[in-house]
């Protein structure tokens, strides 16, 4: 029963930004659950190398793409259709950030961050609606998962103003989409990671040592692990998560819920 409840055998998934960091953790989790997974990355060599490595877990397809413009998202969808065809799971994970002191935070820190973190996920959903609608049923909806951030829910003092604003926006966009797409048998949820060992937290870590100030900020006193984020995504994409939509699920060791 439990194995079947979280089995994704035969499901087709697209994970943007799936070659590195959280995206790779998610892509590997979906592959281990039985899904066919296409991943994107800005750099073709990184994307292809990651797909080759993850192919040991299941069928993994590289689709390099720089998702800073709506046109690039539309073109990615066309290449996905040619490579895979239908779609059951869309994970909008590709993200961009910018940090800096408020006195000198530049105007150029806004357009690309908002485009990648908010507009691109919307464009991906819009363009893939035919596939998502075709594969969803009342008992087994198609899934859209947007990756947010604790910085979009509470003040984290990261000095990443455009990033925090964009993540708050994707949380609300997820709820709007969930309401509009429920009748098409498509669920939309936001997964909200806290601090994981990725490039975005590199300045908090020195090899295996983590800044004790950061750990003190996290009620569970550790960074997130790959299985933490992958487990929530697999749940949402499986039979076990078929009745969940419009949710914002923190995966953060208690930063949001215990704060």
Catalytic residues: 163
Q: Tokens 């990033």 label which residue?
A: 163
Assigned token pair, 195:
């601090």
Burial 18-38 (b: 16+ CB within 10 A, else e): bbbbbbbbbbbbbbebbbbbb
189 by DSSP, 3-state: which?
strand
In whole angstroms, what is the distance from residue 35 CA to residue 184 CA? Answer: 22
Q: Identify the CA nearest to 137 among candidates 33, 36, 35, 242.
A: 242
In sequence order, the 6+-apart residues with CB closer than 8 A to the CB of 53 are none
In whole angstroms, what is the distance from residue 73 CA to residue 44 CA? Answer: 16
In whole angstroms, what is the distance from residue 174 CA to residue 93 CA? Answer: 13
Strand partners, 15: 39, 91
Assigned token pair, 130:
């035919």
């Amino acid at each position: 029963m439990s194995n079947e409840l979280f089995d994704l055998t035969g499901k087709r998934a697209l994970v943007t930004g799936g070659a590195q960091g959280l995206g790779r953790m998610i892509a590997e989790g979906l592959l281990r659950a039985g899904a066919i997974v296409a991943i994107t990355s800005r750099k073709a060599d990184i994307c292809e190398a990651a797909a080759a490595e993850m192919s040991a877990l299941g069928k993994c397809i590289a689709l390099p793409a720089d998702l800073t413009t709506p046109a690039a998202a539309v073109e990615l969808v066309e290449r996905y259709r040619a490579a895979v065809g239908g779609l059951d799971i869309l994970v909008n994970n590709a993200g961009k950030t910018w940090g800096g002191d408020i006195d000198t935070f530049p105007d150029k820190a806004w357009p690309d961050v908002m485009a990648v973190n908010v507009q691109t996920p919307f464009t991906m959903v819009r363009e893939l609606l035919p596939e998502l609608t075709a594969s969803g049923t009342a008992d087994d909806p198609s899934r859209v998962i947007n990756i947010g951030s604790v910085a979009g829910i509470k003040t984290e003092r990261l000095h990443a103003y455009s990033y925090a604003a964009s993540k708050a926006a994707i949380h609300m966009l997820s709820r709007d989409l969930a309401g509009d797409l429920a009748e098409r048998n498509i669920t939309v949820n936001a997964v909200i990671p806290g601090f994981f060992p990725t490039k975005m937290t590199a300045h908090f870590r020195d090899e295996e040592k983590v800044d004790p100030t950061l750990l003190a900020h996290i009620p569970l006193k550790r960074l997130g692990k790959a299985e933490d984020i992958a487990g929530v995504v697999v749940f949402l994409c499986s039979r076990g998560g078929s009745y969940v939509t419009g949710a914002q699920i923190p995966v953060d060791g208690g930063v949001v819920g215990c704060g």
